[in-house]
Structure 1
Amino acid sequence: MSPDPLSRLASLEGVPSAYAAARDGIDALLRDRGLRRTSPETTAESLLLGAHASGVLEGSVSTLEEVRSGSCDEVAQDAVRVSTELLGLAPTLSRTPLQALARIHVLAAADLPEPQRGRPRDASAAQRLRGVGELLTGSADVPALLVAAVVHAELATAAAFASHNGIVARAAERLVLVARGVDEKSLTVPEAGHLALRPAYESNLRGYAEGGAAGVHAWLLYAAEAYAAGAEASPVRRAG
């Protein structure tokens, strides 16, 4: 998908109001309950919650307590490994997004043979990744939340890497929110929003891949709801 369609997507029925409401909710959380009391520990907790949720969506059966203690299964360990380096990739995502996406996959897929880590599966997959890179270097006038939603869906449905595409997609989504100033301290937990809405998450991803324009529209409306749920899952709310 080239950058041009995003302006059209941003004007689809219900999308402007849904994304404005989601952004307002995130801004209210960060302004009213977050900024005066946030700490690196709060960000670390948000990343841990996100790693657990992303791992579960990828097939992990580990509990949050097991993830916290380091006794989790391999899939959860993969998601945690991504989370530990993710925020440092925000400048790279803005400048050279394909490099950032490759690094996320390298972190997630540490057990794969080296030639399969951080590289697209084939020429078609490389083309899809280039399209995602174009989205990430353009679309300045499109709401950042919408860019994050499309990047997530493109990465998840293209399955451009040999494995861990869901973990990469959800990590990239969080990173877009950081890099584009929606949630610079990464205090919301979009992965937990998707987990809370798991049946809708999975069905709308299928719709995005297979349902044409209607499927894309439905995904965008779903994603706005998921971002609101991700704000509700923020550790800032518990601190408050």
Structure 2
Amino acid sequence: MSDPLAVIADLPGVPEAVAEAREAVDRLYRHRVLRRRSPEVSAESALRGARASAALEGVDVPLGSLRAGEVTDPLVQGALRVSAEIGRLGATWRTAPRQVLARLHTVAAADLAPEPALGRPRSAATPAADPHDLGEAPSPPETAARMDALVALLTEPTKAPALVLAAVVHAELAVLRPFGTADGIVARAAERLTLVEFGLDPKSLAAVEVGHRGLPYAESLRAYLTGTQEGVGQWLRHCAQAVVEGTRETTAICEALIRA
């Protein structure tokens, strides 16, 4: 199959969900605040996204405390570092995704894993964290084979929308848990990076992680894990809705700046 992403992009309900997400992003980009304050909005979106990503891994902290620099939890700090790193990795994402993923894990798990394990695939002796009840992670050989396929999806042409590619990247990393620690943080960062670099959200404005947090995230991941058309379609529709919800969060940021 020369373009597998194009096939799953046509699963029932997916084209309509992707179109709705595209319209939501386009609507956000027309907001008048973004004419002059786009970097400020993007920074706030990144902060809220990092908080939501950490919360999805089980560490929920107040936004005010995070903004004030009062949170020292290592997972939250890793999410913040990953959020800051995304902007520096875009140029490499399409050509050397393994290098980018290794870097994302290195900054995400700096205080969670031993230094020799940072940015390196887990071994058969290394158990993978499972905060979403996804069951035992695939074996290292199976993980390596699927990572090869994932790299191919990122580096080869596809007619599928950026959102579909981002959703598959996210799900594969979350399910495979290639590093064994902070894989969810890395997966959601890779999704945002894909949305940016493949053109859906080039200014990284949509707080898609916030969208995931407000939806049945673990349930949708488990649906993807079934490998059925129905399950994969459910995950893709979930990701499209997460983008829609993420644009609503960012619109609220814009409106708050007007009122300030």
Would you say the 8 A contact 1:94–1:137 is kept in 2? yes
1:211, distance to aligned residue in structure 2 (A): 5.3
Q: Larger C-alpha radius of gyration, 1 or 2? A: 2
Larger helix proportion of the pair? 1
* 2:69 pairs with 1:70: yes
| TM-score normalised over the length of structure 2 | 0.86
- Give the distance between the partners of 1:237 and 1:12, measured in 2 at CA: 36
1:21, distance to aligned residue in structure 2 (A): 1.2
Would you say the 8 A contact 1:125–1:161 is kept in 2? no
- Give the distance between the partners of 1:138 and 1:157, measured in 2 at CA: 22
One-letter identity of the residue aligned with 2:47? L
Aligned to 1:202: 218
* 1:7-26 aligned within 5 A: 7-26=6-25
Aligned to 1:61: 60
- Give the distance between the partners of 2:32 and 2:146, measured in 1 at CA: 39
In structure 1, which of residues 177, 193, 201 is the aligned counterpart of residue 195 of structure 2? 177
Distance 1:223 1:3, change over 3 A: farther
Query: What residue ranges of structure 1 are gaps of 5+ in the alignment?
Result: none
Aligned to 2:118: 117
Would you say the 8 A contact 2:5–2:158 is kept in 1? no
1:224, distance to aligned residue in structure 2 (A): 1.1
Give aligned-pair identity as a percent.
Answer: 48
Quote the RMSD (CA, aligned, Å).
1.7
| TM-score normalised over the length of structure 1 | 0.92
How big is each residue's C-alpha offset from its partner over 1:65-88, in whole Å with a ceiling of 9 and x where there is no partner?
A: 121122222221110011111111
Would you say the 8 A contact 1:51–1:79 is kept in 2? yes
How big is each residue's C-alpha offset from its partner over 1:71-127, in whole Å with a ceiling of 9 and x where there is no partner?
A: 222221110011111111111111111111111111101022222111112333222
- Give the distance between the partners of 1:116 and 1:141, measured in 2 at CA: 36
- Give the distance between the partners of 1:28 and 1:15, measured in 2 at CA: 20
1:225, distance to aligned residue in structure 2 (A): 1.0
In structure 2, which of residues 158, 170, 188 is the aligned counterpart of residue 152 of structure 1? 170
In structure 2, which of residues 134, 155, 159 is the aligned counterpart of residue 137 of structure 1? 155
In structure 2, which of residues 169, 185, 190 is the aligned counterpart of residue 167 of structure 1? 185
1:139, distance to aligned residue in structure 2 (A): 4.2
Would you say the 8 A contact 1:98–1:130 is kept in 2? no
- Give the distance between the partners of 2:254 and 2:144, measured in 1 at CA: 38
Distance 1:26 1:3, change over 3 A: farther
1:4, distance to aligned residue in structure 2 (A): 2.8
1:172, distance to aligned residue in structure 2 (A): 0.4
* Secondary structure class of the residue paired with 1:173: helix
One-letter identity of the residue aligned with 2:149? G
Distance 1:21 1:27, change over 3 A: same
How big is each residue's C-alpha offset from its partner over 1:162-184, in whole Å with a ceiling of 9 and x where there is no partner?
A: 21111001000000111112111
User: Runs ≥4 in structure 1, deviation > 6 angstroms?
Assistant: none
Distance 1:139 1:220, change over 3 A: farther
Distance 1:182 1:237, change over 3 A: farther
Distance 1:64 1:166, change over 3 A: same
Would you say the 8 A contact 2:97–2:151 is kept in 1? yes
